[in-house]
């Protein structure tokens, strides 16, 4: 059983509306299938955030749009 603090719900609501989410990894993310959401990025150390931002910035507009579309569809 995974204890849930319900903070992932806020991220799920954001990505369901087309936003991206970057937040610290927590074991409970598995309960929300976070690994399946293409616009949600997790980090284990704060120093990893700059690499995540660089990765997002390097994506083409088409890739960003596709990730957003898939996230919204999956949440729907």
Residue range 54-67: mean pLDDT, rounded: 96
| β-sheet bridge partners, residue 42 | 23
Q: Of 51, 28, 50, 55, give the one whose Cα is nearest residue 39.
A: 55
Q: Is 39 helix (H, G, I), strand (E, B) or coil?
A: coil
Choice among 6-10, 14-18, 56-60, 72-76 with the minimum mean pLDDT:
6-10
Q: What is the largest CA-CA distance in the chain?
A: 39
Residue range 43-70: mean pLDDT, rounded: 96
Total residues found in the chain within this entry: 76
Give the pTM. 0.82
pLDDT surpasses 60 at 2: no
Residue range 37-66: mean pLDDT, rounded: 96
């Amino acid at each position: 059983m995974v204890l849930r603090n319900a903070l992932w719900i806020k991220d799920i609501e954001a990505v369901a509306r087309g936003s991206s989410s970057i937040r610290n990894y927590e074991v409970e993310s598995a309960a929300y299938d976070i690994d399946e959401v293409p616009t949600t990025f997790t980090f284990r150390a704060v120093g990893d955030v700059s690499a995540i931002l660089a990765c997002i910035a390097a994506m083409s507009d088409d890739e960003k749009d596709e990730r957003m579309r898939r996230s919204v569809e999956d949440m729907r």
